[in-house]
């Protein structure tokens, strides 16, 4: 399998910090937050390649950081938030330019969590050919309304509904920015784009895949941080400070 870190966004809510530094390269506990993800990914036994997609503005910074770590950096060619491709098109760009055919684990570059990814990968493979997403119980409906995709599950843990930032969340289970695509399902991303699907948020893609090929939800134990604004960034720094 391959793993892809999404790092091509412009993180407007974290300005001015992100005017001169990509969010995944901001220090948390004294080192770039993306390095925590790298540790989790490298623990997966049969991981073949570590890929990261960046925008052109911070491409050089990611190359300087990533090449010593063995990370392949892909430039999506954009330089401003207005030009951004969106997460779905960034995934498809990497699939095409890097000729990805294996299973692909996609990870948002601003995620920090306790759970090992080996468990999620094992569960995802057990439920293939469905796509698998990582979920947590956030238990904060006001925050969910503003920022997250909500999932409803059936007894086996398969997603029956997926709503992006609902006004009245039916559950407090939210998507965490972890997505496992079996190799045979990579073509569904291209098909989704071709029929005019929204490409800025992966949640819209997941919503489209709920009924075919189907989506499974793997619950993540332990802490989870989505570094979306200054308050969450400061909280992560307090938690991970050495």
Please check whether residue 72 is in contact with residue 50, taking contact to mean a CB–CB distance below 8 angstroms. yes
Would you state the structure tokens that stand for residue 197, as one six-digit string?
A: 């699907």
The tokens for 97 are 């330019």
Mean pLDDT, the chain, rounded, equals 93
Indicate the number of domains in the chain.
Answer: 1
> Which pLDDT tens digit goes with each residue over 121-165?
999 999 999 999 999 998 778 778 777 888 999 988 999 999 888
- Model confidence at 242: pLDDT above 70: no
Kindly state the DSSP code that residue 125 receives in the 8-state scheme. H
CATH of the domain at 117: 3.90.550.10
Which domain does 61 fall in, by range?
2-240
Q: Which tokens in the block code for residue 192?
A: 């989704």
Asked whether the CA dihedral 37, 223, 147, 134 is positive or negative, the reply is positive
Query: pTM of this prediction?
Result: 0.94
CB 2, CB 48: distance < 8 Å: yes
């Amino acid at each position: 399998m391959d793993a892809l870190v999404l790092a091509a966004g412009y993180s407007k809510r974290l300005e001015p910090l992100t005017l001169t530094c990509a969010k995944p390269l901001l220090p948390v506990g004294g080192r770039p937050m993306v390095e925590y993800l790298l540790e989790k990914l490298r623990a997966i036994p049969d991981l073949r390649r570590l890929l990261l997609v960046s925008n052109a503005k911070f491409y050089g910074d990611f190359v300087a950081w990533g090449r010593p770590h063995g990370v392949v950096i892909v430039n999506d060619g954009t330089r401003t938030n207005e030009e951004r491709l969106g997460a779905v098109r960034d995934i498809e760009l990497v699939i095409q330019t890097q000729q990805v055919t294996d299973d692909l684990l996609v990870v948002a570059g601003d995620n920090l969590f306790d759970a090992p990814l080996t468990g999620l990968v094992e569960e995802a493979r057990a439920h293939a050919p469905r796509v698998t997403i990582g979920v947590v119980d956030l238990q904060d409906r006001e925050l969910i309304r503003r920022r997250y995709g909500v999932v409803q599950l059936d007894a086996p843990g398969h997603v029956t509904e997926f709503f992006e930032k609902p006004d009245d969340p039916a559950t407090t289970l939210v998507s965490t920015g972890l997505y496992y695509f079996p190799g045979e399902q990579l073509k569904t991303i291209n098909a989704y784009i071709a029929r005019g699907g929204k490409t800025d948020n992966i949640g819209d893609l997941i919503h489209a895949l709920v009924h075919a090929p189907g989506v499974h939800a793997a619950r993540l134990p332990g802490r989870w941080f989505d570094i979306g604004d200054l308050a969450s960034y400061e909280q992560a720094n307090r938690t991970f400070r050495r």
